[in-house]
């Protein structure tokens, strides 16, 4: 079974030409799961030639607009964009407690397609620390992160798949243990050590978690463009003590899973 992880968007709250808001695609077996759906997602899916109509699941880490702002556009496209056909396959949205309420309120503002798009839409609220099986192919585990009240990191495991995505976090959490032994560690590294507060990660904390996890490949993401322009963020993470493979996320970055396979890219 082939699996692939693709960066659809790796941006922050800062608008930039190179990428939209946070959004990643995990394809494994019958699962085509979007992890977060930030602004710009639906257009970038088209730019990257991704089968946007084939998305089976949307997994949300938290409710900040740079992670969920693309939801109405994607739902509207899935509702009306397949003419003359209509989608029939179900879509499941997995998100923290409060996800159902957010969709209901979006439906009040924008239209009923947000909760009744004309195909089966299931909204599954997941509690931190819980585990769920996605379409019999991928095991989803979550843990609470100190970014917002509802924010969660995601761990996804299946045949050849061992991916952890931090969403937005903060240092006061055991992300190293949560990500232990993962093949691909997609870790936010928003700001420099001297600027970061309690609700984001920096090279020092990213290196600490990646080292504790013994991550196979560390993918740095959600880096503020001002920080990226001023510093070599990969070098800072190495200098902070992580000696494993480290790359910087960019729109369209895509890798077969597991990442260690010879010739995979
Ligand atoms: Zn964010
Ligand atoms: Zn956030």
Give residue-wise pLDDT tens across range 200-247.
999 999 999 999 999 999 999 999 999 999 999 999 999 999 999 999
Mean pLDDT of the chain: 96
**Separation CA 215–CA 189 (nearest Å):** 15
How far is the centre of ligand 1, averaged over its atoms, from the C-alpha of 98 (Å)? 18
Element (H, E) at 234: helix 233-239
**Separation CA 223–CA 249 (nearest Å):** 9
Q: What is the pLDDT of residue 260?
A: 87
* 216 within a domain of the structure (yes/no): yes
Is the pLDDT assigned to residue 1 strictly greater than 80?
Answer: no
Question: Do 164 and 179 form a contact (C-beta atoms < 8 A)?
Answer: yes
Mean pLDDT of 1-30: 95
Among 148, 150, 142, CA closest to 166: 142
**Would you state the torsion angle of the CA atoms of residues 85, 79, 123, 68, taken in this order, to the nearest 10 degrees?**
130
How far is the centre of ligand 1, averaged over its atoms, from the C-alpha of 198 (Å)? 14
* 264 within a domain of the structure (yes/no): no
Is the pLDDT assigned to residue 264 strictly greater than 70?
Answer: no
Q: How confident is the model at residue 265 (pLDDT cuts 50, 70, 90)?
A: low
How far is the centre of ligand 1, averaged over its atoms, from the C-alpha of 249 (Å)? 14
Q: What is the pLDDT of residue 151?
A: 98
Domain holding 246, by residue range, is 3-255
**Separation CA 188–CA 244 (nearest Å):** 16
Q: How confident is the model at residue 261 (pLDDT cuts 50, 70, 90)?
A: low
Q: What is the CATH number of the domain that holds 245?
A: 3.60.15.10
Give residue-wise pLDDT tens across range 161-193.
999 999 999 998 999 999 999 999 999 999 999
Strand ranges for the chain from DSSP E: 3-9, 23-28, 31-35, 57-59, 91-95, 121-125, 131-134, 138-144, 152-158, 161-165, 184-188, 217-221, 245-248, 254-257
How far is the centre of ligand 1, averaged over its atoms, from the C-alpha of 22 (Å)? 7
Mean pLDDT of 128-141: 96
Q: What is the pLDDT of residue 263?
A: 47
- The vertex-190 CA angle with 13 and 42, nearest 5°, equals 40
Among 217, 213, 220, CA closest to 237: 220
Number of separate domains in the chain: 1
Is the pLDDT assigned to residue 140 strictly greater than 50?
Answer: yes
How far is the centre of ligand 1, averaged over its atoms, from the C-alpha of 148 (Å)? 10
């Amino acid at each position: 079974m082939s699996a692939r992880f693709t960066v659809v968007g790796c941006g922050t709250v800062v608008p930039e030409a190179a990428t939209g808001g946070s959004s990643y695609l995990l394809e494994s077996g019958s699962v085509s799961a979007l992890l977060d759906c930030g602004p710009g997602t639906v257009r970038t899916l088209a730019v990257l030639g991704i089968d946007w109509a084939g998305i089976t699941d949307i997994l949300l880490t938290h409710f900040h607009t740079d992670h969920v702002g693309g939801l109405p556009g994607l739902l509207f496209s899935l509702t009306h964009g397949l003419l003359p056909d209509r989608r029939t396959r179900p879509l499941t949205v997995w998100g923290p407690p409060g996800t159902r309420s957010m969709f209901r309120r979006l439906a009040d503002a924008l239209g009923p397609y947000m909760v009744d798009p004309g195909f089966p839409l299931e909204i599954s609220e997941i509690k931190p620390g819980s585990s769920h099986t996605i379409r019999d192919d991928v095991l989803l585990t979550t843990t609470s992160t100190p970014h917002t009240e509802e924010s969660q990191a995601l761990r996804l495991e299946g045949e050849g798949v061992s991916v952890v995505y931090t969403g937005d976090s903060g240092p006061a959490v055991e992300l190293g243990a949560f990500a232990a032994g993962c093949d691909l560690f997609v870790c936010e590294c928003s700001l420099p050590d001297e600027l970061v507060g309690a609700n984001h990660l920096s090279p020092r904390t990213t290196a600490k978690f990646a080292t504790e996890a013994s991550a196979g490949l560390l993918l740095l993401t959600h880096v503020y463009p001002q920080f990226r322009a001023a510093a070599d963020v990969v070098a800072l993470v190495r200098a902070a003590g992580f000696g494993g493979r480290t790359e910087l996320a960019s729109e369209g970055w895509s890798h077969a899973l597991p990442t260690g396979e010879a010739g995979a890219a």
